[in-house]
Amino acid sequence: MGEFVIKMPDVGEGVAEAELVEWHVKPGDPVREDMVLAAVMTDKATVEIPSPVNGTVLWLGAEIGDTVAVKAPLLRIAVDGEGESESVAESVKEEERQPLPSPHRGEGARRADEGVSLPSPNEPSAPKEPSPSSDPSGHLLPAGEKGKASTAETRPLASPAVRLRAQEAGVDLRQVSGTGPAGRITHDDLDQFIARGAQPVAAAAGLARKTGTQEIKVTGLRRRIAEKMRLASARIPHITYVEEVDVTDLEDLRATMNAGRKPDQPKLTILPFLMRALVKTLGEQPGVNATFDDDAGIVTRHGAVHIGIATQTPAGLTVPVVRHAEARTIWESAAELTRLADAARNGTAAREELSGSTITITSLGALGGIVTTPIINHPEVAIVGVNKIVTRPVWDGSQFIPRKMMNLSSSFDHRIVDGWDAAVFVQRIKALIETPALIFIEG
């Protein structure tokens, strides 16, 4: 009997560490080759760590929310045969026995040369007293039952994104048959299960007082969202400008174009038109298509227009980026929007597709409300918010007529963009949207 040590892999892109967002096993669990053991997050991309061997888990080297350095020991597995070379296994054990400073859970970076947290050599290798965890469907379990729900026999294989979707839909993943490698449940498996009319787990009938509380550790994408929002709020003095826009003619044009679209063309929403209007306006006001390094005191104006599209996903808010929007037609913009939104919601978007934007559009669709105060995506200097379209009576000078109206709520970094320039910027977008033929006129 030997031991196999699995270390935090090098996920590329110069990443030196990653946050542990999910364990799929616990000490004592049997594992098989290609079984997903854990999930880690770098920036906004989630990476699953599979097992390269068959065996039994002996020890876990981190807790959910910990930041683990690349090449740091992550877990040990007992295997048949010799396992890894004795020197490797012993060096890892020696690392584990070294005393560590009190860790700052979920925040401080863990360096490979510091080792990882482990009970003393005289204590059995076992996890700390478990905190409330979740069963395969995502429902919280008491601490004492954590092991029951995470064993290899009962816990189905699925990515974090699939588990979150199942939790929100009230689906117990133990009832879903997986078609992926080693029985792994895919998004398609979950979609087919729901489409067959499978019913969510029913809530208990009747009225009853509830006295329990639930503590949820902020980890993974949610923690990164929180950090970005704190950074933007603390460092950027926002000015928000709201303007009412008549989109009646644009909606008529959009309906006409959708009616005549080709089979391989996507359905047009208002966003591709707004993107083209944004590109034309930024050509006239390049100071808004910029990023601000406030530590160095340098504003960088970008020739390329890389538009971030704030997108709600099962895991939280992400911002996939339509690159070089200035070189895309309405149809090309719509196709890229659809592709990126699907990738973001399925958790398959690449890191480069989730970074590098120079300005952002945010829209809540039909839930867009009357007015919003969007927060700038640091280090950008502007964000354009789309509110919902409503039909209202508008006075045309002699009578009230029904018109489709929409508000644009846009925020600017007031250190870089003056109020006058912000107003001119939004007014130019308004003019293009209200006379949509102008969007297609070049020069």
Instruction: Dig out the tokens for 63 from the structure.
Output: 């807790």
Taking the C-alpha atoms of residue 274 and residue 280, their distance in angstroms, rounded to an integer, is: 10
CA distances from 23 to 20, 172, 361 (A): 8, 18, 35
Catalytic residue among 246, 294, 414, 421: 414
- The vertex-408 CA angle with 407 and 410, nearest 5°, equals 145
Q: Are 149 and 135 in contact (CB under 8 A)?
A: yes
Instruction: Dig out the tokens for 269 from the structure.
Output: 């929403």
Taking the C-alpha atoms of residue 262 and residue 401, their distance in angstroms, rounded to an integer, is: 34
Taking the C-alpha atoms of residue 14 and residue 291, their distance in angstroms, rounded to an integer, is: 22
> In whole angstroms, what separates CA 11 from the centre of its chain?
18
Q: What are phi and psi of 23, to 5 degrees?
A: -100, 135
Element (H, E) at 230: helix 220-235
What is the DSSP track for 209-227? -----------HHHHHHHH
| Amino acid found at 396 | D
Q: Are 379 and 294 in contact (CB under 8 A)?
A: yes
Q: What are the beta bridge partners of residue 134?
A: 140
Neighbouring CB atoms inside 10 A of 210's CB total 5
Q: Are 336 and 322 in contact (CB under 8 A)?
A: yes
378 catalytic per annotation: no
Strand, helix or coil at 347?
coil
Q: Are 26 and 57 in contact (CB under 8 A)?
A: yes
418 catalytic per annotation: yes
Neighbouring CB atoms inside 10 A of 15's CB total 16
The terminus-to-terminus CA distance of the chain in angstroms comes to: 74
Catalytic residue among 10, 80, 293, 418: 418
Q: Are 146 and 26 in contact (CB under 8 A)?
A: yes
Q: What are phi and psi of 2, to 5 degrees?
A: -125, -175
**Active site residue ranges:** 414, 418
